[in-house]
Structure 1
């Protein structure tokens, strides 16, 4: 087996293993995962871009035990191809085109500043505080709640739902986490149905109202399940990735004080891209062969899956000079952190805004920030992140 995705040593630093695999071949069979894995930038890019490799959803089994989880994913634009994907993606793109990112930008910056001020106060009172808890994990969920128009007690539940549901993406989540993911999915589906019904009666300037308006204006059909699936995708993709970019990124910066000192408004745009590349928040993304294909000479029969290891692609020296060096000025930076091809992340501009706002607020308000201890890694491979990030000044 090329690597054990549950091995703590591998999870602590998978990049040397990826380098070894790249030196041997661009694609490897992985009996443990049950699918081949692409490890070069070129092979991963092909997996993501080729139209004969698609996102073809297969229900979690037994299907009657995962009704809500399967509903969320079966109706997500990320899990569709062809006309169904184009129709739903067009509606979401048009709704985003109503200026949601620009509308939210001032609030995102104010929120980031307030959260960092709260972090600074906790450090002053207690000597240290968890940056992940008080900034990285709080900022994106508040932004997604604002984007979707989620109010009331459900706003406080979004983070827990997202954290619980995405554990199903790991190679072997275990029965307890599978059951918890279905329970969280069912609660989330119920809340989203209530939100959609409310916005049909009382539209506002949120994205759910925008989706409903676009569907009506174009005469396109947007089912209740599709609206629920789209909102769920925005939460899980927008929340999990951003949390881990901020957490992994700040950790990388604090381990390199010279780079932390260089961080500022001038370097923020390229710094965001470099932090996404340097320690990828999403390590694996799957595609399914629509017909018999080959990727870098490796056969992928129709109906079988292949995975792009995004962290491996991001450290390919054929594309990135000195890939193991954190370079806040790196440009160009063709990382695959937001995907590629027809499934490229529609929320990328909003994610970039959130990460930049957090970094700028931290650097401005806490320039002497340092690690208060070695942060533990989450025991997960696909979603690469930290359990906590203790900091002090």
Structure 2
């Protein structure tokens, strides 16, 4: 019973379909996606943690048409395995852990307050306003730009670059979006190479300077910056949008959060679990292996359906219920194993800061219209979420 990843009805609510798949088997062949998919929490966890499976980058073809897109991914931490991955992850983690999240947290909270204040002002003036364009899309890209200390005009272009590049991860992006992704990648590469050269001559208190000091070569540095932009921006945008929508559709949970700010940390984890921003993550068998008993020959790609894992009753009590105080929450939203997301602490701060600003500024917020969902499966999110108060 393969689902159609472009079907609007499925995209509106894929979770009943995932439940039917889990009931039948933990892993399924999926001809429409073109690879088998793991749907149980245990199978997805096994896939993400298994050392017989890796991220083996294969250039987008024809390679001559995608030089910048392929460069970004060939040099990405996410697309490496073994000693090459261990070396790069150690260097990047060392740079990232030099207090950048703590350094940025006060400015993140001020930014969230300002953006939510703008949202409230637009609601007061016009009766409603869009959370996605005003807050969700603006905050994380500004944080990543600040983390990397990206100046204008590149800073203003970063959101568009990220939006264009990630469309290549969909099952069938189409030729127009493929060309746009390469153009965005080329512009990103040029801007970040220039910035790295500046930081090499004149280092600052930013992650690019720390990556330069860690002796990454320029392509590894650009690939790392691209990963931070795409993972840090896209995922956080969609956690905020999907999460606020979930809270408004479960007003009793929003009231719990209003009454008890100490629930913020648990709420962030629950919003990531309940409607994950990344629905599918691929790996490739490096040797003949199996996932949950399903044979995966060497060289075969297999995907974890993270949205299906997030609603597995074998891993979560009452998985289809939103519970902002959920205590046991082993979600896979930040991955698992050697590729666990290095930016998870920063993402948590961004989402918590947004929730806190909404609670203080718009405690009576409610939906002002039907949300508009983006027509993508892998990156699950909204294009518009209009609120009133």
- The equivalent of 1:10 in structure 2 is 10
TM-score by length of 2: 0.99
SS class of match (2:261):
coil
1:214, distance to aligned residue in structure 2 (A) = 2.5
> Which structure 2 residue ranges, 5 or more long, are not aligned?
none
TM-score by length of 1: 0.98
- The equivalent of 1:277 in structure 2 is 273
- The equivalent of 1:391 in structure 2 is 387
Deviation readout 1:69-104 (Å, 9 max, x if unpaired): 000000001000011111111111001111000000
- The equivalent of 2:291 in structure 1 is 295
Tell me, yes or no, if structure 1 residue 243 matches structure 2 residue 243.
no
> Which structure 1 residue ranges, 5 or more long, are not aligned?
216-221
Between 148-157 and 57-66, the greater mean CA deviation after superposition: 148-157
Deviation readout 1:347-379 (Å, 9 max, x if unpaired): 000000000000110011100000000111110
1:2, distance to aligned residue in structure 2 (A) = 1.4
Tell me, yes or no, if structure 1 residue 252 matches structure 2 residue 246.
yes
Which residue, 226, 234, 242 being the options, matches 2:220? 226
Deviation readout 1:100-133 (Å, 9 max, x if unpaired): 0000000000000000001100100111000011
1:55, distance to aligned residue in structure 2 (A) = 0.3
1:199, distance to aligned residue in structure 2 (A) = 0.4
- The equivalent of 2:157 in structure 1 is 157
- The equivalent of 1:78 in structure 2 is 78
Count how many residue pairs are aligned between Structure 1 and Structure 2: 387
Q: Following the alignment from structure 1 to structure 2, what is the Cα–Cα distance between the partners of residues 78 and 257? A: 37
Q: Following the alignment from structure 2 to structure 1, what is the Cα–Cα distance between the partners of residues 385 and 363? A: 16
1:261, distance to aligned residue in structure 2 (A) = 1.2
Q: Following the alignment from structure 1 to structure 2, what is the Cα–Cα distance between the partners of residues 69 and 249? A: 30
- The equivalent of 1:54 in structure 2 is 54
Q: Following the alignment from structure 2 to structure 1, what is the Cα–Cα distance between the partners of residues 171 and 294? A: 22
C-alpha contact (below 8 Å) 2:68/2:185 kept by paired residues: yes
Tell me, yes or no, if structure 1 residue 32 matches structure 2 residue 32.
yes
Q: Following the alignment from structure 1 to structure 2, what is the Cα–Cα distance between the partners of residues 362 and 136? A: 12
1:152, distance to aligned residue in structure 2 (A) = 1.4
SS class of match (1:194):
helix
- The equivalent of 1:218 in structure 2 is none
Q: CA RMSD in A?
A: 0.6
Which residue, 328, 335, 345 being the options, matches 1:349? 345
Residues 298-313 of structure 1 mapped to structure 2, 5 A cutoff: 298-313=294-309
Q: Following the alignment from structure 2 to structure 1, what is the Cα–Cα distance between the partners of residues 212 and 183? A: 27
SS class of match (1:306):
strand
1:211, distance to aligned residue in structure 2 (A) = 1.1
Q: Following the alignment from structure 1 to structure 2, what is the Cα–Cα distance between the partners of residues 322 and 345? A: 26
Residues 130-209 of structure 1 mapped to structure 2, 5 A cutoff: 130-209=130-209
Q: Following the alignment from structure 1 to structure 2, what is the Cα–Cα distance between the partners of residues 254 and 33? A: 32
1:48, distance to aligned residue in structure 2 (A) = 0.4
1:265, distance to aligned residue in structure 2 (A) = 2.1
Q: Following the alignment from structure 2 to structure 1, what is the Cα–Cα distance between the partners of residues 30 and 300? A: 13
Q: Following the alignment from structure 2 to structure 1, what is the Cα–Cα distance between the partners of residues 104 and 269? A: 21
SS class of match (1:266):
helix
SS class of match (1:267):
helix
Tell me, yes or no, if structure 1 residue 338 matches structure 2 residue 334.
yes
SS class of match (2:381):
coil
Which stretches of structure 1, 4 residues or more, deviate above 3 A after TM superposition? none
